[in-house]
Structures are given as structure tokens and as C-alpha cells.
Amino acid sequence: MERKNAWLKYDEEGRKTVFEFSERYRRFLSRCKTERECVSQVIEDAKAAGYEDLNEVVAQGKTLKPGDKVYCAIMGKSIALFHLGERPLEEGMNIVGAHIDSPRLDLKQNPLYEDGNLAMFETHYYGGVKKYQWVALPLALHGVVAKTDGTTVSVVLGEDPGDPVIGISDLLPHLGRTQMAKNAEKVVEGEDLNILVGSIPLEDEEKEPVKKRILEILKEKYQISEEDFQSAELEAVPAGEARDYGLDRSMLIAYGHDDRVCAYPSYQALLSLEAPRKTCVCLLVDKEEIGSVGATGMQSRFFENAVAEVINCAEEYSELKVRRALQNSCMLSSDVSAAFDPNYPDVMEKNNSAYFGKGLTFNKYTGSRGKSGSNDANAEYIARIRRVLDDADVSYQTAELGKVDQGGGGTIAYILANYGMEVIDSGVAVQNMHAPYEVVSKVDIYEAYRGYETFLREI
Ligand code: MN
Ligand code: MN
């Protein structure tokens, strides 16, 4: 059972391949910090690999045949990609899925105000964050502002080295006595996460002159007004690029590894496939961090609808075929796992922890308090996966998210399992999960890619 460190499997040439793959991921991650940005990039890459928009295929009344590739995006925030296989769809699909939303600070609908001669943005945090980690950091603003004239303005502020950044202040230790005595949950509270955005007053203006000047800048730079914030989705995220981490450059530190470190290798694995036997699918979804709800979350019917459209374009349609296609499918639900951390060994059980360098991590079950809420993967299914990964010499490990009763978490696995398909949680181990900067091992990213590719081809 001794799991060899995956780095030791690779000679110099092999390590070069590992580093090159993670460099492509690093650039993807530096550019794609929101679900919308991820979907846009995936569409661009998919088109270059020969994928067509399913909506256009449907509109033009085209038929789909084995080897054809289509994608279906919903509201620009979730996407399903299909590479049609030789076998009929009702025999089931091989699906890799991950989420592309990450914890962050969303601007409120009425965000801008002035206080103490400073212009500020109100925020509402998204997902499970330790709020005290989000202060005293350079933040960037990403998102869209939809205007009543039907146009949408894209905003990326704080990423170009010439751009200004914004941020949230913290209290100086000299005046922090009361603060430091508080419980960590209360050290910085949700309503304290206000972003400082400006301090120069507009000339000859009595009321809120600093705010008014910021509004002038917004008008000039983005052609948006204060009212337009009501129909905006603006996300404050840590500014700057993903970076190599460690003296040996073996890791990457970045915002948003959860869960793009699974999303990126998942879709790259699909794009690299040639003539699959079964139809292969990559599913990249929004809203996992807040319970997979809403039209673009995994609980939405959009994927089921997309499968129905694909079957309708590929063969004689029946609802029974859609149900069979879903129930006969196999899925890797990919999400990050907690990596063993020598600074915090107490929350881990060493025999069932994920370790950096040991490859793709499988979680038979997640959940908390007696596996509650978990998709408990089927033993026979795990055996099949073990066989194909062993044959392809993919490094993998099995783990739980921390000690029994220490906490827990959920993923999208249980939602797909509702169709009666085989699903298991898999993914890449992460340190500092949900912190503004998370850390992963480069060889684990590469083993995830190889694992997903093997799964799609062989299972
Ligand atoms: Mn998460
Ligand atoms: Mn996640």
C-alpha cells in the first residue's frame, strides 16, 4: 500500500512535461478568476479544438454523429461539453465534472458610499471564507455590469501591473486590544468587509464629493452610472497572478484553485480525446460554493436538458433514452481535498489524509457527522477505476477530509448520483483551502489530468 511519491516516477524529460502543463494551468488561473471568465476561456479553447455551439446545431437542424463535438453554456456561467462516442448515448456517458465558482467578496446592489472623506464599496461574501483573511490585501474587481440599453460592460480592474488595486483595511495592533480578544469568527465581521476605492473630493461639491468623483471615473472608464450597480455582478478577488511556490518550484500558490485545479485538467483531458468509444462529457458548473443552487448550479436541469438536446440531434429521440443515458453513466466529480499540513496535523488522521505529490485524490465519501450528506461511492465502481488507473500508471491516493467529526464538506457528486449513475469524488489536494491564496502540488495537477484522460477513454 506504500504510495510512491509521483515526482519519483518522472525523469528529467517527464518532469519537464509536468512543469509545462502546470505553467499552462498557471496562466489560465491568472486570467480566469470568475465563473464567467472560465466559461469564456473554455469556449475559446473548445472552439479551437473543433467544438460547436449546441444551440447553433439545434437551430440549424443539424444531426450529430460519432466523433462530433458540441458545447452548451448557460448564462455564461456553467458549461457542458460533449464528444460523441461510437456507442449509442443510452449506454451511458463518461463524465468529468468540476465547479468554477470560488469564494470571494461580491459587491452589494447599492455598494458605493462615502464615509470619513473616503469612498467605499459594500460587499457580501460568497462561499465559506474566514473573513479575517480578506483584509489588508490588494484586491481586484472582476465582473459585468448589465445596462438597461441591453449592453453589458465587462470589468477587470487591478490585474494589469499598471492598474490600481483596491482593498479592505485592518486595525493596527496598537489599537487592536479589544479586537484581538474576540473569537476569530468575530475579529472581522461580514459588515466590516468594506472596500476602500477613493479619497480625492470632486471640486466645488458639498455633498459626498469623494463618492461623486469615483462616479465620474466609472462613467468615463466604463460608461456606467450608480444605478447600473443594481444590475451588476462584480466580484472582489485577490489581485495578481498565480505564482510558483517553493524553492524547487514544485507547487503553485494562487487564488481560486478550488476548484479550477480540477476544472482545468478536466476540460483539457476532454479536449485531448480522439474518437472515444462512449460519449465523453466535461461539466463545469457555477454556485457549488453556495449549495449548487440556481439556474447555473448543478441542481438546475440544464445538464439534463443538454443531454436531451444531444440525443435529439444524434438519434431518434425518446425520454427513456435520456433517462438511460444518465443512469448508465460513470462520473468523476472532481473537487479539491484537504492536503496534509504539518502545521495543523491535529485535524488530520494520517492514514486517511491526502498528501502533496501522491497524485489524484479519491474520496469514497465526504459529508460530516457520520457521512451525512455524502455520496458514498460504490465499491465495485472504485475497483473498475483502480484497474484502469493502475494499467495507465496514474498516481492516486484515497483520503477523507480530516478526522471523523472534525468538520466536513460537500460537492456536486450527490446531485449527479440522483440519476442512479456511478459517481465518486476525486480531485487535487490543496493547502489553505478557501483562503485568498491556496497551494497545490504541480505533479498532482498533472496526475489529475492523466487520471481524467484515462477515465474518459477507458472506463
Ligand atoms: Mn470550496
Ligand atoms: Mn470545491
pLDDT of amino acid 228: 98
Residue 297: how many CA atoms within 13 Å on its side-chain side?
A: 14
How many CB atoms neighbour CB 273 within 10 A? 17
Q: What is the pLDDT of residue 410?
A: 78
Q: Hunting for cell 489524509 — which residue is that?
A: 353
- Identify the residue whose cell numbers are 448543478: 298
pLDDT digits (tens, 9 = 90+) for 18-36: 999 999 999 999 999 999 9
Q: What are phi and psi of 3, to 5 degrees?
A: -90, 115
Q: Minimum-distance ligand to the CA of 97?
A: 2
What's the DSSP call for residue 211? Answer: H
**Residue 364's closest CA among 354, 356, 376, 352?**
376
Strands 243-245 and 152-157: unpaired
User: Which residues of the chain carry a pLDDT beneath 50?
Assistant: none
Q: Which of 144, 140, 192 is nearest to 166 (CA)?
A: 140
Angstrom distance (rounded) from CA 274 to CA 281: 13
Number of CB atoms found within 10 A of residue 164's CB: 12
Please give the Cα distance from 455 to 331 (Å, whole number).
9
Predicted local distance difference test score (pLDDT) of residue 445? 98
Torsion of CA 44, 48, 50, 51, to 10 degrees: -10
Distance 288 CA to ligand 1 centre (A): 7
Packing angle of the helix pair 12-31, 442-458 (nearest 10 deg): 90
Residue 366 Cα to ligand 2 midpoint, Å, equals: 12
pLDDT at 366: 86
pLDDT tens per residue across span 248-288: 999 999 999 999 999 999 999 999 999 999 999 999 999 99
d(CA 62, ligand 2 centre) in Å: 36
What's the gap in Å between 258 CA and the centre of ligand 2?
5
CA of 269 relative to ligand 2 center, distance in Å: 19
Q: How many CB atoms lie within 10 A of CB 174?
A: 6
pLDDT for the residue 1: 77
pLDDT digits (tens, 9 = 90+) for 77-111: 999 999 999 999 999 999 999 999 999 999 999 99
Query: Could you tell me the distance, in angstroms and rounded to a whole number, from the CA of residue 173 to the centre of ligand 2?
Result: 34
Q: If you search the block for the grid coordinates 517553493, which residue do you land on? A: 246
What distance in Å separates the CA atoms of residue 221 and residue 217, rounded to the nearest whole number? 6
Do 131 and 103 touch, CB atoms closer than 8 A?
Answer: no
Task: Give the end-to-end CA distance of the chain in Å, rounded to a whole number.
Answer: 23
331, 414 contact by CB (below 8 A): no
CA of 374 to the centre of ligand 2 (A): 14
Please tell me whether residue 234 adopts helix, strand or coil conformation: strand
Ligand with an atom nearest the CA of residue 427: 2
Helix, strand, coil abundance in the chain, percent, nearest 5 = 35, 25, 40
Sheet with 279-285: strands ordered across: 52-53, 69-74, 78-83, 279-285, 93-99, 330-334, 422-427, 360-363, 396-398
Q: What pLDDT does 127 receive?
A: 96
Supply angle C-alpha 366, 367, 368, rounded to 5. Answer: 130
Cα dihedral 332, 292, 238, 361, rounded to 10, equals: -20
Going by C-alpha positions, the residue among 408, 29, 20, 28 that lies closest to residue 238 is 29
Distance 129 CA to ligand 1 centre (A): 9
Q: Which three cell numbers stand for residue 385?
A: 477505476
Distance 122 CA to ligand 1 centre (A): 23
CB 222 within 8 A of CB 232: no
Interacting residues of 455 by C-beta distance below 8 A, sequence separation 6+ = 94, 96, 269, 330, 332, 385, 388, 389
**Ligand 2 midpoint to CA 291 (Å):** 11
Long-range contacts of 48-53 (CB under 8 A, 24+ apart): 49/271, 51/81
- C-alpha 291 to ligand 1 mean position (Å): 10
